[in-house]
Structure 1
Amino acid sequence: MTGVIRPVVRAPAGVLGTAGKEVDPLSAEVRQLVEDLFATMAVSPGCVGLAAPQVGVSARVFVVDVTGHPKTRTCHGAFALCNAEVVSASKWEKGREGCMSVPDLTGDVRRAGNLVVTGVAPGTGEQVEIRTNAFEARALQHEIDHCSGYLFLDKVAGAHAIYPRKTYL
């Protein structure tokens, strides 16, 4: 399968505020969706994760790859998860986040710095447990939120914690 680059949906699109449906990780549609998510992420500078709702699909599927990001401590490389859930979360800390679906803003969001997530690998159906921290933990929580119908803007403390995105020439 070859991934297709899909357009990224922007807020306030309805799909971004709707909880995604659980998926069959063995289905051809889900395997293609994962390929498309990876292809779309690859052509999006600075992107470290992308969820199905961000390409207009109401499904609990996302991809993450924090490889090479300066804030990364633990890194599991590029991976996809279906029907993911947070099993445990601790060491809460505030950090700045951005999102391809909210391209002009960033915000300070309180997230767990230590995280355990379970999900299912697309294509194999294998149960996966990911134990991570720091930036990868933040990215996972951000993508799981997308699958549950939340944007980072829903998690900021208020208007004082939202900023215009800096652009670098």
Structure 2
Amino acid sequence: MLLEILKYPDPRLRVKCKPVDKFDEELKKIVNDMAETMYNAPGVGLAAPQVGIDKRLFIIDISKEKNDLKVFINPTILKKEGEICDEEGCLSVPGEYANVTRAEVVEAVAQDINGNEFIIKADGLMARAIQHELDHLNGTLFLDRLPAFKRESVKKHIKRRQLAGEY
């Protein structure tokens, strides 16, 4: 089932999400609905709060074929290495892109759909996506990581698009 993707400045995007403690059929349905929504959007990642769900959960699929879904439940970054600045966008801030500085390499721990813990070391787009989606679980948007002048410029652009009915 396709879910509605919340758009900035919806206040639900600012909630610090609660940990997942039940790994059941309901959770599997949420993940399946989120995957269908993300692939339809189309995007490479989607966090639960972006669809109004208050759970520490996100999904990522950076494959070209869109057949390598990764599920991260109750994730934490263990290590960060390096620094790289690259362009980011967000399904909750459609049509807006900006350069964001993030760690180049991350090591994260999370649980899978069955509650099994795993560790992943990632670089490139996967590292960027993990950091971006984890920010969502803490109520942070990529806009918050921009320099003040750039953030204000993007916000003004969004306002203009809202007034014109394009956002």
Q: Same fold (TM over 0.5)?
A: yes
1:77 counterpart (68, 93, 102):
68
- Unpaired runs of at least 5, structure 1: 70-75
Stretch moving more, 137-146 or 100-109: 100-109
Aligned to 2:39: 42
Aligned-residue offset at 1:133: 0.1
CA RMSD of aligned residues (A): 2.0
| Alignment deviations for residues 17-60 of structure 1 (CA, whole Å, 9 cap, x no partner) | 01010012513322211111101011113x10000000011111
- 1:73 maps to none
Residue 108 in structure 1 maps to residue 99 in structure 2 = yes
Q: Does 1:159 align with 2:129?
A: no
Q: Hey, what does 1:56 align to over in structure 2? A: 52
Distance 1:65 1:104 in 2: 20
Structure 1 residues 34-91: Cα deviation after superposition (integer angstroms, max 9, x where no partner): 111101011113x10000000011111110000129xxxxxx9311111000000111
Cα distance between partner residues in 2 of 1:13 and 1:125:
30
Residue pairs, 1:1-169, within 5 angstroms = 4-45=1-42, 47-68=43-64, 77-122=68-113, 124-160=114-150
8 Å Cα contact 1:64-1:79 kept in structure 2: yes
Partner amino acid, structure 1, of 2:47? A
Secondary structure in structure 2 of the residue aligned to 1:104 = coil
Identity %: 31
Aligned amino acid, residue 64 of structure 1: I
Gaps of 5+ in 2: 159-167
Q: Is the 8 A contact 1:16 1:53 kept in 2?
A: yes
- TM-score, normalised relative to structure 1: 0.84
Runs of 4+ that moved beyond 4 A: 161-165
Name the structure, 1 or 2, with higher relative contact order (CA <8 Å, separation 6+): 1
Q: Which has the higher strand share?
A: 1
Match of 2:134, SS? helix
The alignment partner of 2:89 has SS state of: strand
- Alpha-carbon contact 1:120-1:127 (below 8 Å) kept: yes
**Alignment: residue pair count:** 154
